[in-house]
Homo-oligomer: A and B are copies of this chain.
Amino acid sequence: MARSSDDTSAGPSRSGERRRLEELVGRVAFVDHHCHGIVRGPLDRAGFESLLCEADAPGPWHGSLFDTQVGLAVRRLCSPLLDLAPHAPADDYLARRAELGSDEVARRLLRGAGISEFFVDTGFRPDGLTTPDELAARAGASAREIVRLESVAERVIADHRAGDFVATCRDGLAAAAATAIGFKSIAAYRVGLDLAPDRPATSEVAAAAARWAAGIERGAPIRLADETLIRFLIWTAVDLGLPIQFHTGFGDADADLGRCDPLLLAPLLRATAGLGVPIMLLHTYPFHRHAGALAQVFDHVFVDVGLAMQNVGSRAGQVLAELLELAPFGSVVFSSDGYGLPELFHVSATLFRRALSDFLAAGVADDAWSHLDAERIARLIAADNAHRAYGLDGEGAGRGSLA
């Protein structure tokens, strides 16, 4: 175990084992349990770069954002699907992209990603993006919706101010639960993950809603950043029985990464254990080892390294292996966290497949586990864990719509 790297005699058989596992992992249809829509129209270089990673846009100091792991990965992995040589220069890539048109590019890149089901978060700037159905159509796959809790509350306060906020929110989330497959919270961005674990009293919620509405009356933007209200949304979602996704780990400059450590969620995880509702910790990097520890001790916690897969490029294998130190193999799921660019779906899925098959093949070559174990783990992580968490595994199928 842990020794293949220099056991040269194992080289050939390991290569054979790798090929077997690559083929298996290549055949398995992946569930992408967290992604977003893609931009509908054409993009110039600045627009493309602004969607490439978590930087808002290229600036005067760092040069082109193509000079990142994700930029290099796009040039390497996506160019061939656009009929270019690998590593095509950025301008050539974008010229060819414009020539083919964004629909054709999306079709090629999404179909190449090997994803059969997309669970699409529709809460962030949906206006310029494809709907779940549009995404699914381009990919030749199916799509289900993930409803963002904070967005529902923001629509309620916009439409009704504080009047009947509690009941209207509950109704809105219950209506969403009839068709959505899960909920998502961006508490990390708004108040941090250091959430009190208890369910707030209705009177507290009503008072907080009144304060929020009063602020909006005075001209504040409609942006939910109240810890009591966010806890109310989370507990309402718990009552509805759908899995709840949490943004954790790194994101854009709006979030203080220090408040996005999933360890801050421990009290809430303890409070929700045994309630039958899976908690899905998204992204988690650079706190993915913390997330793995949580997944080991809390049976209802699932984890991924979604956003990291696209961003860390050649390092994807190392990051996934770190997650798999403590996280039970039954707790790890795949997400692309694709947003805006179909390239990000393709890069995430391709790097994740390689990371997974490399991890599993190395274990077989090192005799840490058997090929049969590796196959079972591959199927768990590619799709079975997600199907179980979201109630799509036969017995639980349709669970999402019964909540």
Contact = CB atoms under 8 A, between A and B. Distances in A.
B319 A315 contact: no
Interface size class of A (residues with CB under 8 A): 35 or more
B3 A354 contact: yes
Interface string A78-110: 000000001100000000000000000000000
Contacts of A54: 293, 296-297
A202 interface: no
A290 interface: yes
B296 A286 contact: no
A211 to B, nearest CB: 24
Contacts of A328: 53, 55, 62-63, 65, 67-68
Contact of A72 (B4, B15, B253, B368): B368
Interface stretch (A5-13, A123-131, A144-152): A5-13
A312 to B, nearest CB: 4
Interface string A232-264: 000000000000000000101100111001011
A95 to B, nearest CB: 18
28 contacts: A2-B314, A3-B18, A3-B358, A6-B18, A6-B365, A8-B12, A55-B297, A60-B299, A61-B302, A63-B330, A65-B328, A67-B377, A68-B296, A69-B324, A73-B368, A76-B368, A87-B370, A253-B270, A253-B297, A253-B298, A258-B264, A286-B290, A286-B292, A296-B311, A311-B325, A315-B322, A315-B324, A318-B321
